[in-house]
Amino acid sequence: MTPVPRRILPVIAASQFAGTSVWFAINAVMADLQREAALPADAVGWLTAAVQLGFIAGTFGFALLSIADRFSPRKVFLVCSLAAGALALATALLPPQLAMLLALRFFTGVALAGIYPVGMKIAAGWFAHGLGWALGVLVGALVLGNALPFVLRALGAQWSWQAVMVAVGAVAAGCGVLMAVFVPDGPHLAPAARITPKALAVIWHDRQVRASAFGYFGHMWELYAFFVLIPAIVATRFAGAAASWWVAATMGLGGVACIAGGALVRRVGGARVAAFQLASSGLCGLLAPWLLDAPLALWAAWLLWWGATVSGDSPQFSALTAANAPRAMVGSVLTFVNAIGFTLSTATITLFAALAAQWPLAQVLPWLAVGPAIGLWFLAPMWKAGR
């Protein structure tokens, strides 16, 4: 067995962290953009949804064309990270018109399809064993990367929104260079199986796959819609740099929870870890009408716990689905499950952004719990069995 150099996982995680920073970059500067470009109140929903749609299109395109099999995944990662950086730069330099921003965010999503899934493939090439732990670290890095633009916004409180976008673009471009220089192709790198529509039938008819897949769909109902609404929740208490720090902390704790959840899997099982976090985040949504106006300490504990648990179950759903899918169709099942999940998130992002523009948060946030409730119902056979 080829030993894995110690630098491999940290470098892949750091590259994943930096590359995915473009995902919520526009959200971090949304207040400035709305003032300058007179964007509508629900524009944040449409712009975030555009990234999701680009990611879905890119994921299917990369899979159908076998891009990461025809070319070294490290080179694919490099090209896509440079493209993501260039798109962030273009966002800063071009006139901030809604149609232009939507196109740039869509293609940013396409570039992310060559960063997040391809980064996972690079990791799989090195970790034939212990991939579950590596997966927790990498998804944790993804979540932390989502929070990075808010950290940059807080550190550069006096910066223009264009300067923040340029900084995010530079970080994203640098991640591809980091991966290309320090991580060679792994010894276990294998070509992916062809995508087959038969996987759709497996998702519904296989009881174990259905349980984990629909648990994931419930998770995706809530996850990205909550991310879009975090700045609005924080704005009820803080403004300026302090608000950006709170948003970053709330999102970033999800990355810590992904890693912590991965460490608990061997003791209690992935389904129980996922179910606990799914139930916790759903409960946070239900309690929102009472905790939005709670004393600061209680409000902070509620928001930070929600931020941790809303993301922390992500790697467990991927691992459960991969473990239960037929061996010959793992890649197809995961591709379709992810595509359905991100499509659902696109709908809930636009829905909840529009609702939050028209209704008080206390009336909107509890509806985020619908997804976790349905997800827990489907996942029940697995977590009750201790899997």
Asked whether the predicted pLDDT for residue 268 surpasses 80, the reply is no
Cβ contact 38:93 at 8 Å:
no
Residue 315 banded pLDDT, cuts 50, 70, 90: confident
All residues at 6 or more sequence positions from 3 whose CB lies less than 8 Å from its CB, including other chains: none
Better pLDDT: 262 or 60: 60
The domain of 329 spans 193-387
Q: Are residues 208 and 276 in the same domain?
A: yes
Q: Are residues 28 and 101 in the same domain?
A: yes
Task: Indicate the residue among 160, 191, 222 that finishes a domain.
Answer: 191
Q: Does residue 331 belong to any structural domain of this protein?
A: yes
Length of the chain: 387
- SS3 annotation, 176-239: HHHHHHHCCCCCCCCCCCCCCCHHHHHHHHCHHHHHHHHHHHHHHHHHHHHHHHHHHHHHCCCC
Asked whether the predicted pLDDT for residue 368 surpasses 80, the reply is yes
* Number of domains making up the chain: 2
Q: How far apart are CA 8 and CA 21, in angstroms?
A: 20
Task: Indicate the residue among 175, 191, 207 that finishes a domain.
Answer: 191
* Torsional class of 214: left (φ above 0), alpha (ψ -120 to 50), beta (otherwise): alpha
Q: How far apart are CA 306 and CA 325, in angstroms?
A: 30
Residue 116's CATH number: 1.20.1250.20
Residues of the chain with pLDDT > 90: what percent? 63
Average pLDDT taken over every residue of the chain: 90
Q: Are residues 183 and 107 in the same domain?
A: yes
Structure tokens at 187: 């010894």
Q: Are residues 286 and 316 in the same domain?
A: yes
Q: Counting runs of H as helices and runs of E as strands, what totals does the chain give?
A: 20, 0
For 204-236, the pLDDT digits (tens) are 888 999 999 999 999 999 999 999 999 999 999
Q: Does residue 212 belong to any structural domain of this protein?
A: yes
Least confident of 43-47, 99-103, 121-125, 158-162: 121-125
Q: Are residues 59 and 30 in the same domain?
A: yes
pLDDT at residue 128 in the model:
66
